[in-house]
Amino acid sequence: MIISAKSESRVYHMPGCRYAEMIKEENVMYKKVKWAIKRKYRPCAWCFSTEGILHREKAAVEQYLKNTGYEMENRDHVLYIRGQAGFWKLVYNEESTGFTLFHGNRAEKVTVEEAEAVGYHRQGDAPIHTSVLETCRYIAKHDEAKKILSMGSYRDLPRSTQKQREYYNSARKKDRIRGIRRVEDLFRQLEEGSSMKRYSVC
Ligand SMILES: [Zn+2]
């Protein structure tokens, strides 16, 4: 649900926005986002921004970071989150009114101060989240799956949702390819006549 004013300004706000609270009570309209978009209303520049969203979710996000041990930094409207599997970069996109998620893996030893220097790639399977908290939850799920894979096997991954089954299948495929490669490498080594001693010392 969004809030707008019966005026020519044609701007809509999220509940709790400081500017929405300035609208006179008799002028307040409560509508669905679809209603506003259809009439070409513009999203408010404060409540639909990194800072505005963060401000709205402050307590919940802080609690979440405390529980998970994740760290967050806001630099020039870009949020950097250090999770268990490297860094994440949340870039707010005005067009989609949500965060585009980028992942920088192999960055476990990098400090939050160095977060900008990490190489990032777009996290392809991540949906556009309109909330920082939702994005944090996505990151935690991703990290959990990574942890299971690093400790054991894809067989331990959860398979209750469609997304989880897709991840399971791709992990299984990767595992098979790895298995085939290992055998191929072994044969290549044997054919090249290199000694088996290598395997006992590595
Ligand atoms: Zn607003």
**Global pTM?**
0.70
Q: How far is the CA of 132 from the centre of ligand 1 (A)?
A: 17
pLDDT beyond 50 at 197: no
- Long-range (24+ apart) CB contacts under 8 A made by 50-55 are 50/74, 50/77, 50/78, 50/79, 50/90, 50/92, 51/77, 52/14, 52/17, 53/92, 53/130, 53/131, 53/132, 54/79, 54/132
The answer as to whether 74 is a domain residue is yes
pLDDT exceeding 70 applies to what percent of the chain? 91
**pLDDT given at position 202:** 42
Pair 20, 60 in one domain: no
Pair 93, 130 in one domain: yes
**pLDDT given at position 108:** 64
The answer as to whether 114 is a domain residue is yes
Report how many domains make up the chain. Answer: 3
Answer with the residue of higher pLDDT: 146 or 191: 146
C-alpha 176/C-alpha 171 separation (Å) is: 9
Q: How far is the CA of 3 from the centre of ligand 1 (A)?
A: 8
**pLDDT given at position 40:** 92
C-alpha 104/C-alpha 120 separation (Å) is: 4
**pLDDT given at position 35:** 93
The answer as to whether 82 is a domain residue is yes
Residue-averaged pLDDT of the chain: 84
pLDDT beyond 90 at 64: yes
Q: How far is the CA of 24 from the centre of ligand 1 (A)?
A: 14
**pLDDT given at position 133:** 94
Residue span of the structural domain in which 107 resides = 53-151
Pair 80, 129 in one domain: yes
Question: Mean per-residue pLDDT for 29-49?
Answer: 92
Label residue 200 by pLDDT band (50, 70, 90).
very low
74 contacts: CB under 8 Å, gap ≥ 6: 50, 51, 54, 80
Pair 59, 134 in one domain: yes
Pair 112, 76 in one domain: yes
The answer as to whether 130 is a domain residue is yes
**Mean pLDDT: which of 48-52, 110-114, 198-202 is highest?**
48-52
The answer as to whether 200 is a domain residue is no
Q: How far is the CA of 19 from the centre of ligand 1 (A)?
A: 5
C-alpha 72/C-alpha 141 separation (Å) is: 17
Q: How far is the CA of 122 from the centre of ligand 1 (A)?
A: 28
**pLDDT given at position 41:** 93
